[in-house]
Structure 1
Amino acid sequence: MEMATFETLLQLLRPHLPTRTVSIEKKVLSHLWFLGNKESFRSVANRFNLSKGTLHATFFEVCEALKVVRPQIIYWPNRNEQARIVEGFLNRTGFPGVVGCIDGSYIPIPGPLEHRADYICRKGFPCIQLQAVCDHQLRFLDILTGWPGSVHDARVFRNSPLKQVLENGRLEEEFHLLGDSAYSLTTYMMVPFRDNGHLSEEEANFNGRHSSTRVVIERSFGLLKAKFRRLFYLDMQLVDKVPLVISSACCLHNFILVNEKNDVEGEFQNEEQNVDDPNVDDPYQKMLHRL
């Protein structure tokens, strides 16, 4: 995150954060640092000269502030914006009518002691689901999180507010989302042909174009987790607070993309390469020294 972006974020959150004894700058910086690194809670508290209790309180204060401003950062596009997104997908991949790509991602957690089996995903570890729709620039248009890992993607979607939005005509008739085979084919959801080993040339070509377009949502999740490395394993015992933390990271993901007009391809590659490289300068460390 650039310094100018950080200052803009402070202006957005300032009306929703209490001042008391810890400055707003330190609250937001410690929040960014905690999400962006894999340090222990105690280590982060020491870094910012805070007690563990204070860091815990200020971290969730920022989460709550981001929840308040979330409608300004993650929102369903209007008709003009939908047309712009469709044009963006068409120029990138040649697939017409795409207003967004949808998928789910697992956010690993330790798992609660009670009903632990409900949180075990098909990959064998406890997690919380994150469903998201993104545009061609990796920006989230809609997110839903909080469902346990054992729940299928299709069930999460069926019970999501997004489904009601789509069924109520919030898409132009010729526009649609792209989803994988976990979702059902509808007028607003385009899914690939089921590969039974006997696909025609046209069907195989469609699936290839579909996959190369839909991969953008995987890249959005990849960039989200590369920037906010805490999401690789969110070590939290308070399961009810996990969705709030995930949502705050998604808000920050969008905020950075909107306010920093960098090349997304290069940004993603650099972040992915630097995830575990201790020699790479941390931008939050630089901001900490400047404040």
Structure 2
Amino acid sequence: MLRKLKANEITWEGKQGEEGDDRPPSPVRVKDYAETIVPLYSGEDFKKHFRMQRETVEEVCRLLAPHLPAKIIPVSKKVLVTLWLLGNIESFRGVADRFDLGKSSLHRVLFQVCNALKAIRGTLIAWPTRDQLPQLADDFFRRTNMPGVIGAIDGTHIPIPGPSHERQAYINRKGFPSIQLQAVCDAKLRFINILTGWPGSVHDARVFRNSPLYTLLENGNLPEDYHLLGDSAYTLQPYMLVPYRDNGHLLPWQVNFNHIHSTSRVVIERAFGLLKSKFRRLQKLEMIDVERIPLVISGACVMHNIILMKENLNLDLEIQQDLEVIGHDVGVDNVAAREARAAAVQKRDEIATGLAMHM
């Protein structure tokens, strides 16, 4: 028969310590942690452990319930298990013991929840409709006076152990194996497009050129008054504004543009910082099955958006920034591309000179 436990108590099944040893017994399984102990956590302690507020977890459960089997393990426990696993740097065995699960059951629960998140991803990470573009642009404009910006794009690396076969393909420019995450976020740090799965050795520009987003933009999805902001890893296009290359001879209005561009584009770095500080497992995703890694990364991105929709965050306290400096311009080699670049140069110059009026 279970007795009611205090918030800081855990019952263990396992080998007891030696006589006179005050240390707790070595853990095998924690009994009724999710059912008995978690409900006793204060709101602050709950958020520290599960990276989001109770009300947000309830919303996640509501959204995922139609897509999650719950015959043996309830939806709420599956969600808590996944949040703990992604939000804390703890071994799979340790997490399994904490939630009274076998290691194989823990893996099954993780992928069930991530597949459920994939099922709802289209409603939570969606490219904006034309009716939504003015509001997105206004959100950026009110921050920095940069007109027409609907999102900032960049890539970040998720460290992994690396597969035994073709390992070199996953070694990025910093010398460790990784999977890439390309994302576009709005001014409120919400992802509006993501792509993950490319090996770490691939350049950001190549990832972009092979993405559905590139095809969408090349086909004229964005009206000419709107654009993304990218760093110098991307090619200047009417739909993609990048900073002027600093050759030491930039004019004051070009320097001013670069400063405002950087101030506007930093939102994507902040979004990645928030993602990795909330879901710390992404700081080193210890998974051997490379094929399933993108599923976990995209699942964390979906929950990132849910948090931003439900909670008022003090981002200066929440975010541990993960800044990266990337790349060089990629050349263009055909007439159509040169014409598009010329239009982009003119567009960037017009915006830059307009911004200079406020210097």
Q: TM-score, normalised by structure 1?
A: 0.91
Preserved CA contact (<8 Å) 1:93 1:213: yes
Q: Give the greater-gyration-radius structure (CA).
A: 2
Q: Deviations over 1:148-192 (max 9, x none)?
A: 000000000000000111122221220000000000011100001
Partner Cα separation in structure 1 for residue 225 and residue 319 of structure 2: 36
1:217 aligns with 2:268: yes
1:1-291 correspondence runs (5 A) = 1-260=52-311, 262-263=312-313, 266-272=314-320
Runs of 4 or more above 4 Å deviation: none
Q: Deviations over 1:107-128 (max 9, x none)?
A: 0001111111100101111000
More displaced 10-residue stretch of structure 1: 178-187 or 197-206: 197-206
Partner Cα separation in structure 1 for residue 196 and residue 316 of structure 2: 23
Partner Cα separation in structure 2 for residue 38 and residue 31 of structure 1: 12
Q: CA deviation at 1:222?
A: 0.2
Partner Cα separation in structure 1 for residue 209 and residue 162 of structure 2: 24
The secondary structure found in structure 2 opposite 1:258 is helix
The secondary structure found in structure 1 opposite 2:320 is helix
Preserved CA contact (<8 Å) 1:75 1:142: yes
Partner Cα separation in structure 2 for residue 2 and residue 42 of structure 1: 25
Partner Cα separation in structure 2 for residue 176 and residue 89 of structure 1: 11
Preserved CA contact (<8 Å) 1:223 1:268: no
Counterpart amino acid of 2:130?
Answer: R
Partner Cα separation in structure 1 for residue 316 and residue 290 of structure 2: 29
1:268–1:143: structure 2 CA closer, same or farther, 3 Å change rule? Answer: farther
Partner Cα separation in structure 2 for residue 96 and residue 133 of structure 1: 17
Partner Cα separation in structure 2 for residue 170 and residue 70 of structure 1: 21
Q: CA deviation at 1:23?
A: 1.1
Give the % identical residues: 59
Partner Cα separation in structure 1 for residue 78 and residue 315 of structure 2: 26
The secondary structure found in structure 2 opposite 1:177 is strand
Q: CA deviation at 1:35?
A: 0.4
Counterpart amino acid of 1:160?
Answer: S
The secondary structure found in structure 2 opposite 1:272 is coil
The secondary structure found in structure 2 opposite 1:166 is helix
Highest RCO, 1 vs 2 (Cα 8 Å, sep ≥ 6)? 1
Q: CA deviation at 1:268?
A: 4.5
Q: TM-score, normalised by structure 2?
A: 0.74
Preserved CA contact (<8 Å) 2:204 2:233: yes
Partner Cα separation in structure 1 for residue 157 and residue 284 of structure 2: 10
Q: Deviations over 1:248-270 (max 9, x none)?
A: 0000000110122x14xx23423
Q: CA deviation at 1:7?
A: 1.3
Q: Which runs of 5+ in 1 are unaligned?
A: 274-291
Q: Deviations over 1:10-29 (max 9, x none)?
A: 11100101112111111111
Partner Cα separation in structure 2 for residue 30 and residue 81 of structure 1: 35
Q: CA RMSD in A?
A: 1.1
Q: CA deviation at 1:271?
A: 4.8
Task: Give 1:284's aligned residue.
Answer: none
Preserved CA contact (<8 Å) 2:125 2:192: yes
Task: Give 2:357's aligned residue.
Answer: none
The secondary structure found in structure 1 opposite 2:197 is strand
The secondary structure found in structure 2 opposite 1:186 is coil
Preserved CA contact (<8 Å) 1:95 1:210: yes
Q: Deviations over 1:88-118 (max 9, x none)?
A: 1000111111000000000000111111110
